[in-house]
Amino acid sequence: MTFYIFFLLASMFSLSIWHVLKAGIFDKLSGILFYLSIAGFSVSAIGLYALDELSAVTLFRDIIALAGVSMFFMFVKENKILAVGSLIALGSAMPLMYQFLLDQHKKPAPATISAISDEINVDSSSELLVELNPGFSMSDIASVIEEYDLEVTRAFHPIDHLNTDLDDYLSVNIPNKHANKQSEVIHDLQSKRAVEYVEKNEIYQLSPIESTKQYNSKPSKKLALNDPLIDQKWEFGPMELNEFYQYIKKNKIKPKKKAKLFILDTGVDGEHEDLKGQFRSFDKNSSKDEVGHGTHCAGIAASVSNNKIGISSPVPSNDFVEVSGIKVLAGFGYGTQKMIIDGMIKAVDAGADVISMSLGGKSTEQREKAYTEVVEYAKRHNVIVVTAAGNSAKDASQFCPANSAGVIAVAAVDESLKRTSFSNTLQHIKFGLSAPGKDILSTYPKNEYKNFSGTSMAAPYVSGTIAVLRSINPELTVDQAFQLLHDTGLETEQQYKTGNFIQPYKAVKKMVEGK
């Protein structure tokens, strides 16, 4: 692409010189330069088009631009002052034009699909989260608010505010004129007796890539379900999901309640053909998904099984689980710590049994307290929180909320049950498990199905399985759920880094039979 852009601009400039200075030696030199440049442009264009690196639309646009510059200099060549001035301006603009075209053609760097960012950025509209000590109010930090013209509002509104300190948090926006004084604002707030804690409200960014590998091998034995794309789910074999479905059917296992599973993500396309039978809308905005990440996660956890449509999930039927989405990542794949915590509070207050979060970010000591508070709030209401370990091939203890005490963090393994190259490790995580996270086929908005990779895909397998277990045993706690899946799971090659690989069949059997 570099040569293509170089020869395009060289053709444009040499042709302009030829029009303006068409006399004597300049006529010959500029003519030769133009013919060489246009030949290089043609060869590189043909090569890139053949490799599908250059579209016909882009090529047509660039040819029109070349022709447009040529026509301009044809009209102005008689006015030497205007012509030479325009030629100088064009030559001066060449470096900027080169960089602009290079940026236009540049491809985004590939990354596994994940809402787990390896960078730490702060929300410019609400930079800080401030926790007040009990008995204090916003008026007790009025002097700091006035000095920096801070915009301060209550951050969270938990219904059960007597059982949490989350209602003591304030959201603080620092105006643009004081944007460079963030450190001073934090220092002045921390100096107040009313302030318990100050942390930055970080931003997370979604960076998706579609996997290309497809699994089309026919199953070696008759499957218990009739979903047409089930033969592309390589993970069903290692997870023994066929045995899981058959055990539930044979033993006529019935749920004691319909467990509520909440996917906190980019929203969920509740009208998808393979989700709507088990989907319950939380709000209108969350029942749409412009990005696709949340819908993909929801399909892994709780797509409708045995309906002769699409794929299957660990949920045997809609008697066991209903799935809902809460949008905590915006339409462009961005979300903040405040948005995620607020979504967790909403899910708990809505009666969630399981919260599934395929998201997070690089951790700092300052940002862990708010997550700790909200996970504690979930535990007090017996809500099990499952989160992705992260896709940075690092220690998950460096990432929130995977490192929050009381959550189950999930690493990703491939079809050989080896840790994927991107998955974070769990050696310093108390509740760590592994699940399939490579080339996972699942639902996608507008009744599509796509393959994605990431710990984002592994976490929903765990949350979907736990939701089923919770429907059978409504009193199941996070400690019990983890222990059950750990004890019945398979040891992987790097078990200390991935945790045990979940086995839903063995887990439900042990819970029902006690052995």
Q: What percent of the chain has pLDDT over 90?
A: 63
Mean of the per-residue pLDDT values of the chain: 87
Of residues 77 and 296, more confidence is placed in 296
d(CA 57, CA 299): 36
Question: Taking Cα atoms as reference points, which of 339, 369, 274, 256 lies closest to residue 313?
Answer: 274
What is the predicted pLDDT for the residue at 220? Answer: 43
Residues 6 or more apart whose Cβ sits within 8 Å of residue 81: none
CA dist 261 and 282 (Å) reads 11
Mean pLDDT of 471-482: 97
Q: Smallest Cα–Cα separation from 419: which of 410, 407, 408?
A: 410
Task: Give, in order, the Cα–Cα distances in Å from 126 to each of 49, 226, 291, 301.
Answer: 46, 49, 24, 33
Position 59 scores a pLDDT of 75
Residue 107's pLDDT band (boundaries 50, 70, 90)? very low
Give the residue, 514 or 53, on which the prediction is more confident. 514
Q: List the one residue out of 413, 341, 415, 352 whose CA is nearest residue 379.
A: 352
Q: What is the pLDDT of residue 95?
A: 77
Of the pLDDT bands very low, low, confident and very high (cuts 50, 70, 90), residue 461 is: very high
Mean pLDDT, range 386-411, rounded to an integer: 93
Burial class (CB in 10 A: 0-12, 13-18, 19+), 404: buried
| Cα 176 → chain centroid | 29
Residue pair 494/414 in contact (Cβ under 8 Å)? The answer is: no
**Cβ neighbours, 10 Å, residue 374:** 26
Strands 259-265 and 128-132, by their bridges, are unpaired
- Comparing 512 with 77, which gets the higher pLDDT? 512
pLDDT over threshold 60, residue 207: no
Provide mean pLDDT across the span 388-414.
Answer: 92
Q: Looking at the annotation, which residues are catalytic?
A: 265, 293, 456
Mean predicted confidence (pLDDT) in 323-349: 91
- In this prediction, residue 61 has a pLDDT band, given cuts at 50, 70 and 90, of confident
Is the pLDDT assigned to residue 116 strictly greater than 60? no
Q: Which band of pLDDT confidence, cut at 50, 70 and 90, is reported for residue 192?
A: very high
Whether the pLDDT of residue 26 is over 50: the answer is: yes
Lowest mean pLDDT segment, chosen from 106-115, 162-171, 201-210: 106-115
Q: Give CA–CA dist 242/245, Å, rounded.
A: 5
- pLDDT at residue 112 tops 90: no
More confident residue, 246 or 70: 246
Tell me, letter by letter, the H, E, C secondary structure of 417-476: CCECCCCCECCCCCCEEEEECCCEEEEECCCEEEEECCHHHHHHHHHHHHHHHHHHCCCC
- Whether the Cβ atoms of residue 336 and residue 272 lie closer than 8 Å to each other: no
Give the alpha-carbon dihedral of 505, 506, 508, 509, to 10 degrees.
Answer: 110
Instruction: Identify the pLDDT of residue 106.
Output: 47
